[in-house]
């Protein structure tokens, strides 16, 4: 048996729609695999009742098929589906690492990115890699048609998850078909600022580089209480706040000493809006970790 811990991720980061992503220290999925004549999947944990166990309908099943690696697969979900924290990507990335090792396929982590992205296509309809790339490689990733660029980073963040659901398909449905040149220029400037901030582990630059006037404003309309939560986080010391992935999760960048106050402020603001939530005080961290023999 092989076991993999695969982290939650946050994609887009405001200014990097379909391009930027980060691995988070918590929460995470745990995937266990054993060789078998055919693939079977068992899912437990957060939101498991909403996840199909049919390999033809599960992201992990698509990964097993792509690697020609049938296995008995057990997924313990720590990352809730429809959270904006890369739930399907965590499972897909974890399975890719585990099955690659189980069958000695010899693929590098970078070579596993398109494999895991195929699993994502079952959720969003397209093989996006902005979540699976950081889930596999860790740190901060930039995904383009030319490949993946990865930077180790350790910026503190708070990821606040409200008890509401926003599907990836619905969130993609509100993305504008066009944008003004002024908005494009501003967003490119923000993305450049954020990237420099990641290379320096500078929460001020990363936070200011999250600003986006194209996609994020439309997606915030799907999240009850977003504006009040954002304002509360900024008042508590966050350097930047944006929607995590497709939402409804909200990501706040900060300094470590202010994490607790920011987490509390965000949960309180959601509560005032009549929405229950929980906050993870974490940081940008490592990609999927492989443990042999279940250890």
Domain ranges of the chain: 2-151+284-291, 156-281
Q: pLDDT truncated to tens, each residue of the chain (295 aa)?
A: 999 999 999 999 999 999 999 999 999 999 999 999 999 999 999 999 999 999 999 999 999 999 999 999 999 999 999 899 999 999 999 999 999 999 999 999 999 999 999 888 776 667 789 999 999 999 999 999 999 999 999 999 999 999 997 766 777 778 878 889 999 999 999 999 999 999 999 999 999 999 999 999 988 999 999 999 999 999 999 999 999 998 999 999 999 999 999 999 999 999 999 999 999 999 999 999 999 864 4
Please report the pLDDT score of residue 124 as a whole number.
Answer: 65
- Respond yes or no: is residue 235 known to be catalytic: no
121 is in an annotated binding site: no
Picking from 11, 122, 140, 147, the residue whose alpha carbon sits closest to that of residue 64 is 122
- Respond yes or no: is residue 289 known to be catalytic: no
CATH-assigned architecture of domain 2-151+284-291? 2-Layer Sandwich (3.30)
Annotated active-site residue in 3, 168, 239, 242: 168
82 is in an annotated binding site: yes
Please report the pLDDT score of residue 295 as a whole number.
Answer: 47
Structure tokens at 268: 């309180």
156-281: same fold as 2-151+284-291?
Answer: no
83 is in an annotated binding site: yes
The secondary structure element, H or E, covering residue 117 is helix 109-124
81 is in an annotated binding site: yes
167 is in an annotated binding site: no
- State the DSSP string of 184-249: HHHHHHHHHHHHHHHHHT-HHHHHHTT--SSSHHHHHTTSTTHHHHHHHHHHTT-SEEEE-TTSS-
Handedness of CA 43, 88, 248, 137 (dihedral sign): positive
Annotated active-site residue in 120, 220, 239, 282: 120
Please report the pLDDT score of residue 118 as a whole number.
Answer: 86
Q: What is the pTM of this model?
A: 0.94
108 is in an annotated binding site: no
Please report the pLDDT score of residue 294 as a whole number.
Answer: 45
86 is in an annotated binding site: yes
CATH superfamily of 156-281: GHMP kinase, C-terminal domain (3.30.70.890)
């Amino acid at each position: 048996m092989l076991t993999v811990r695969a982290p939650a991720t946050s994609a887009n980061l405001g200014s990097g729609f379909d391009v930027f992503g980060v691995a988070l220290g918590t929460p995470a999925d745990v995937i266990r695999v054993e060789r078998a004549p055919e693939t079977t999947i068992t899912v437990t944990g957060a939101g498991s009742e909403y996840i199909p166990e049919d390999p033809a309908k599960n992201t992990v099943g698509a990964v097993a098929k792509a690697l020609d690696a049938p296995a008995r697969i057990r997924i313990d979900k720590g990352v809730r589906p429809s959270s904006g924290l890369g739930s399907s990507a965590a499972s897909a990335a974890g399975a890719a690492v585990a099955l690659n090792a189980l069958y000695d396929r010899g693929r590098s982590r970078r070579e596993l990115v398109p494999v895991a992205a195929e699993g994502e296509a079952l959720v969003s309809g397209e093989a996006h890699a902005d979540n699976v790339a950081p889930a596999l490689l860790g740190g901060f990733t930039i995904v383009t048609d030319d490949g993946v660029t990865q930077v180790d980073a350790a910026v503190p963040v708070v990821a606040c998850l409200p008890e509401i659901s926003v599907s990836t398909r619905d969130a993609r449905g509100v993305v504008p078909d066009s944008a003004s040149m002024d908005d494009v220029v501003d967003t490119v400037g923000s993305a450049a600022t954020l990237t420099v901030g990641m290379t320096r582990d500078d929460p001020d630059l990363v936070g200011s580089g999250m600003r986006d006037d194209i996609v994020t404003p439309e997606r915030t309309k799907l999240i009850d209480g977003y504006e009040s939560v954002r304002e509360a986080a900024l008042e508590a010391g966050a350097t930047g706040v944006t929607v995590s992935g497709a939402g409804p999760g909200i990501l706040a960048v900060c300094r470590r000493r202010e994490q607790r106050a920011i987490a509390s402020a965000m949960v309180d603001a959601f509560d005032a809006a009549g929405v229950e939530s929980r906050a993870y005080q974490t940081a940008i961290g490592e990609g999927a970790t492989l443990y042999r023999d279940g250890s």
